[in-house]
């Protein structure tokens, strides 16, 4: 098998025009793998550190020149010469050469660029699709599980798709960050995509009918209208379902990313919703509000309903809604096994968002996926609000049979790069390509 011979790194720009790291991994036989690192806006406090040139005036201090330099001068000498197929050895070397718990010395963006480029190069050496290679890595781990209870065959994910954006992604027009749909009635991935596009158009139609802004889109391509309140966003989406001839809940369901960490005030332990202007909400009020929404609208999934360190509140939320609704920890778990294990031990949440740059290497991402699966927590592979043409997460979701994917809306090419990649994978898997479908929601 080929070894890693050369690493090249450079600064490129993401979908918000911010610098990010691109890495080329070159194999001893000349095969090349390339990856570009994504970047969040509503980042959790416990995420791995994205290294930026904060002292520089260039690119407003958001440059990644130091991270790029770290790839060239510190990381390359530590990993060049290792077998490309040995992702675990390469990632272990990356973690070791950084040496910090949060990857803040060399930058999780530098480490992740290398980790993902290596996976692409290993696939290129074999002349195989990335998802096939990732599936081999996944199988090696998951098949060792007792009873073979973990899904291992490449499977197209059920998408969870942003329709209306708020919070930090759309100028704080709404408290909640995303109102999303899940096409639960879809028969296969391409059918799901067609339903999603119909819904996206219909939501635009409903918004212009009610005189709300339907042209401006948020960072993930969802509409960014000014609405009366959070609940009006659910109403617009339900109206769009009806306009499409979909039965709410049966054909299309709603998911919400509350991203509540960003309106949580740790000093007073209260949630500062703009709606609740009379008084701040405590965790119990938040849980009551979420339960009310679930009762009124066809909501099947709630992400970050409570803040990243509100473990007590999360426990109440899980007791109250966890039997009926998917409760996803994003800022809560940050794709890190230590936090996920704490959640599992305390029966907190029942699902985990998987974002490669929250942890910083592919192997650690696979660790989080494996622990989630072992304990019945549903993984949702996710993009960031800052993305690029890199579509690695599409292959990751298929190769690990994760079941669900969250990419953003069906607008803006950094989003479509992933949706289109899934179409190509679907084609290559043939007419009976396995599709996670509604069953993945439990």
The footprint of Zn ion (CB under 5 A) covers 257, 303, 330
Using CB atoms, what's the residue nearest to ligand PGA?
40
Taking the mean position of all CA atoms in its chain, how far away is CA 323? 23
Q: Minimum distance from CB of 353 to Zn ion (Å)?
A: 6
| CB contact at 8 A, 251 and 206 | no
Instruction: Indicate the residue among 246 and 263 with the shorter CB distance to ligand PGA.
Output: 263
DSSP conformational letter for 195: H
List Cα–Cα distances, 76 to 12, 82, 90, 350, in angstroms.
19, 11, 11, 39
Annotated catalytic residue 355 = yes
Q: Minimum distance from CB of 32 to ligand PGA (Å)?
A: 28
> Does 385 participate in binding ligand PGA (rule CB under 6 A)?
yes
Instruction: Indicate the residue among 119 and 299 with the shorter CB distance to Zn ion.
Output: 299
Q: Minimum distance from CB of 92 to ligand PGA (Å)?
A: 27
Site pattern 39..78 for ligand PGA (x: CB under 6 A): -xxxx-----------------------------------
Which range touches ligand PGA (CB under 6 A), out of 191-199, 277-285, 310-318, 380-388? 380-388
DSSP conformational letter for 258: -
Exactly one of 98, 330, 367, 395 binds ligand PGA (CB under 6 A); that residue is 330
**How far is Cα 381 from Cα 392, in angstroms, rounded to an integer?**
11
**How far is Cα 118 from Cα 91, in angstroms, rounded to an integer?**
10
Residues counted in the chain: 442
Tokens 């019945």 found at: 376
**How far is Cα 24 from Cα 328, in angstroms, rounded to an integer?**
33
Q: Minimum distance from CB of 42 to ligand PGA (Å)?
A: 4
> Does 336 participate in binding ligand PGA (rule CB under 6 A)?
no
Q: Minimum distance from CB of 167 to Zn ion (Å)?
A: 9
Catalytic residue among 315, 355, 406, 418: 355
> Does 348 participate in binding ligand PGA (rule CB under 6 A)?
no
Catalytic residue among 220, 364, 387, 426: 220
Q: How many other CB atoms sit within 10 Å of the CB of residue 265?
A: 11
- With 0-12 / 13-18 / 19 or more C-beta atoms within 10 angstroms meaning exposed / middle / buried, residue 127 is exposed
Q: What angle is formed at CA 6 by the lines to CA 132 and CA 136, rounded to 5 degrees?
A: 15
Instruction: Indicate the residue among 50 and 367 with the shorter CB distance to ligand PGA.
Output: 50
> Does 259 participate in binding ligand PGA (rule CB under 6 A)?
yes
Instruction: Indicate the residue among 176 and 241 with the shorter CB distance to Zn ion.
Output: 176
> Does 335 participate in binding ligand PGA (rule CB under 6 A)?
no
- With 0-12 / 13-18 / 19 or more C-beta atoms within 10 angstroms meaning exposed / middle / buried, residue 81 is exposed
- Residue 390 interaction partner, one of Zn ion, ligand PGA, none, beta carbon < 5-8 Å per kind: none
Question: Which sign, positive or negative, has the C-alpha torsion 299, 301, 302, 303?
Answer: negative
Instruction: Indicate the residue among 259 and 369 with the shorter CB distance to ligand PGA.
Output: 259
Please report how many Cα atoms fall inside a 13 Å half-sphere around the Cα of residue 156, on the Cβ side: 28
**How far is Cα 72 from Cα 16, in angstroms, rounded to an integer?**
25
Please report how many Cα atoms fall inside a 13 Å half-sphere around the Cα of residue 281, on the Cβ side: 24
3-state secondary structure of 390: coil
Site pattern 153..192 for ligand PGA (x: CB under 6 A): ------------------------x---------------
**How far is Cα 342 from Cα 350, in angstroms, rounded to an integer?**
12
Exactly one of 165, 230, 382, 404 binds ligand PGA (CB under 6 A); that residue is 382
Which range touches ligand PGA (CB under 6 A), out of 5-13, 155-163, 378-386, 433-441? 378-386
Annotated catalytic residue 414 = no
92 to 151, contacts with ligand PGA by CB under 6 A?
Answer: none
| CB contact at 8 A, 424 and 399 | no
Binding site for ligand PGA (CB under 6 A): 40-43, 177, 257, 259, 330, 382, 384-385
* Catalytic positions, written as ranges: 220, 355
């Amino acid at each position: 098998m080929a070894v890693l011979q050369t690493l090249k790194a450079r600064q490129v720009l993401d979908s918000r025009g911010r610098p990010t790291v691109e890495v080329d991994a070159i194999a001893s036989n000349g095969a090349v793998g390339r990856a570009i690192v994504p970047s969040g806006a509503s980042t959790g406090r416990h995420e791995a550190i994205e290294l930026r040139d904060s002292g520089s005036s260039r690119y407003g201090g958001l440059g990644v020149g130091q991270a790029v330099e770290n790839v060239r001068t510190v990381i390359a000498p530590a990993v060049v010469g290792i077998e490309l197929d040995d992702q675990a050895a390469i990632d272990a070397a990356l973690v070791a050469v950084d040496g910090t718990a949060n990857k803040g010395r060399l930058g999780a963006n530098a480490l992740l660029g290398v980790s993902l480029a290596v996976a692409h190069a290993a696939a290129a050496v074999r002349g195989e699709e990335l998802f096939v290679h990732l599936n081999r890595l996944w199988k090696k781990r998951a098949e060792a599980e007792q009873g073979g209870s973990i899904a291992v065959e490449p499977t197209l994910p059920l998408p969870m798709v942003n329709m209306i954006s708020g919070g930090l992604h759309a100028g704080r027009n709404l408290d909640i960050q995303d109102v999303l749909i899940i096409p639960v009635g879809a028969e296969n991935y391409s059918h799901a995509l067609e339903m999603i596009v119909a819904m996206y158009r219909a939501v635009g139609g409903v918004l212009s009918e009610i005189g709300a802004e339907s042209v401006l889109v948020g960072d993930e391509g969802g509409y960014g209208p000014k609405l009366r309140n959070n609940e009006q966003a659910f109403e617009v989406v339900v109206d769009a379902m009806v306009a499409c001839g979909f039965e709410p809940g049966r054909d299309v369901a709603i998911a919400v990313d509350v991203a509540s960490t960003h309106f949580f005030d740790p000093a007073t332990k209260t949630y500062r919703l703009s709606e609740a202007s009379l008084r701040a909400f405590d965790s119990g009020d938040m849980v009551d509000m979420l339960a009310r929404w679930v009762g009124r609208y066809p909501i099947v999934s709630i992400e970050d309903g409570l803040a990243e360190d509100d473990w007590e509140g999360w426990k109440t939320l899980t007791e109250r809604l966890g039997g009926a609704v998917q409760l996803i920890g994003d800022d809560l778990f940050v794709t890190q096994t230590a936090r996920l294990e704490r959640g599992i031990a305390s029966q907190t949440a029942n699902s985990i968002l998987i974002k490669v740059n929250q942890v910083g290497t592919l192997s650690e991402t696979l660790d989080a996926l494996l622990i989630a699966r072992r304990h019945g927590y549903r993984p949702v592979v996710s993009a960031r609000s800052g993305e690029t043409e890199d579509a690695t997460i599409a292959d990751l979701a298929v190769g690990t049979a994760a079941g669900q994917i969250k990419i953003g809306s069906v607008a803006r090419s950094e989003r479509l790069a992933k949706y289109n990649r899934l179409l190509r994978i679907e084609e290559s898997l043939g007419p009976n390509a396995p599709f996670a479908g509604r069953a993945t929601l439990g």
